[in-house]
Amino acid sequence: MASEDVAIAAHGLGVRFDLRQTKGRTLRRSLAAAVGARRRAEKGVFWALRDVNFSIAPGEILGVIGKNGSGKSTLLEVIAEVIGPDEGAVQVSGRRPTLLTIGAGFERELTGRENIRLNAAYLGFSRKAIEKLIEPIEEFSELGQFLDQPLKTYSTGMRARLGFSVAVHTDPDILLLDEVLSVGDADFQEKSRRRLEEMMKRARAMVVVSHSRDFIEDICSKVLWLEKGRVRDFGEPERVIADYHASTVQQRRPRPAAGQQAAVAPIR
């Protein structure tokens, strides 16, 4: 069983994507593959993560850095148990690690209030737990009477605000963040940031994927640097981040201001 001083640990973790399958397998393609194209099959395998080892203790915040396509999001998906590993294992102590996402599982035809319930139900909350959550979420979202309107009448900003409000009230043991979440106007952003900080305090451990150097440096206690799906470095934030930037500096133009980066709202 998990030892007490480990919140998240990966042991020889590997995730493989079959590129032929991601194209969508049809009967025709499968038949073609069975008849003659077997030789080509091995080339279609791509390891999004391979031989990944790390471990963090309770209370720690892990920052994951690396270029696009280095496997950062895949790592979060494996920890969130959305996809299973093909090699090795991830060990997580705590209940249902949750990927903080905006508005996954929303239905256009349902009202804002109904979508809050549906979203919370997808996350595994019981009826009782949802009843307790619903009022703070409604209040936090500041959507007022729009909560009784179907989601299709919402603007993109309102939708993101509703999704974010649900996300920051779920209080998971293991908090997983992909990119810096930031939606709404300045007031709402400030409120969101405070709420996120509270969540971090309560969470048992946290994993953040971000391109914002300041954000990673400010909050993380460990940093994992991924390159082409493998661990390039793992350790103290200052050292790893400095090495990472030293290695990429020749391909990089001057960094944009921190504020600009934080305004990126990833809605997936």
Partner 1 sequence: MGARSRRAYLMQRVRDLYEFRYLVRYLVSSQLQVERVSFTFGFVWWLLDPLLMIAIWTVVIVGILGRGSNTGYPFPLFLMAAMLPWQFMNRAVMVGVSVTHNKELQMRQISFPRAVLPLSVTLSESVKLLLAIAIFPIAALAFGQSLSPVQLLAVPLMPILMTITVGISWFFSALYFVFRDTERLLGVLFRLWMFLSPVIYSLTLVPGRFHVIYELNPMCWILVCFRVVLVYHQIPGPASIGAALAAAVVTATIGFVFFHIQEPRFARLN
- By the criterion CB under 8 A, which residues form the site for partner 1? 17, 21-22, 24-28, 30, 77, 80-84, 96, 98-99, 101, 104-105, 107, 109-110, 114, 117-118, 121-127, 130, 150, 268
Between 5 and 18, name the residue whose CB sits nearer to partner 1.
18
Comparison of 132 and 268: residue with beta carbon closer to partner 1: 268
Least distance (Å) between residue 76 CB and partner 1: 10
From the list 221, 215, 228, the residue with the least C-alpha distance to 260 is 215
Whole-number minimum distance, CB 105 to partner 1, in Å?
Answer: 5
Query: Which residue lies nearer to partner 1 by CB, 168 or 223?
Result: 168
For the bound state, the minimum distance from the C-beta of residue 161 to partner 1, rounded and expressed in Å, comes to 18
Nearest to 58 by CA among 151, 138, 173: 173
The minimum distance between CB 207 and partner 1, in angstroms, equals 15
CA distance 259 to 211: 12
User: Residue 200's closest CA among 219, 178, 225?
Assistant: 219
CB 45 within 8 A of CB 16: yes
Contact between 86 and 16 under an 8 Å Cβ cutoff? The reply is yes
Do residues 224 and 208 lie in contact, with contact meaning Cβ atoms separated by under 8 Å?
Answer: no
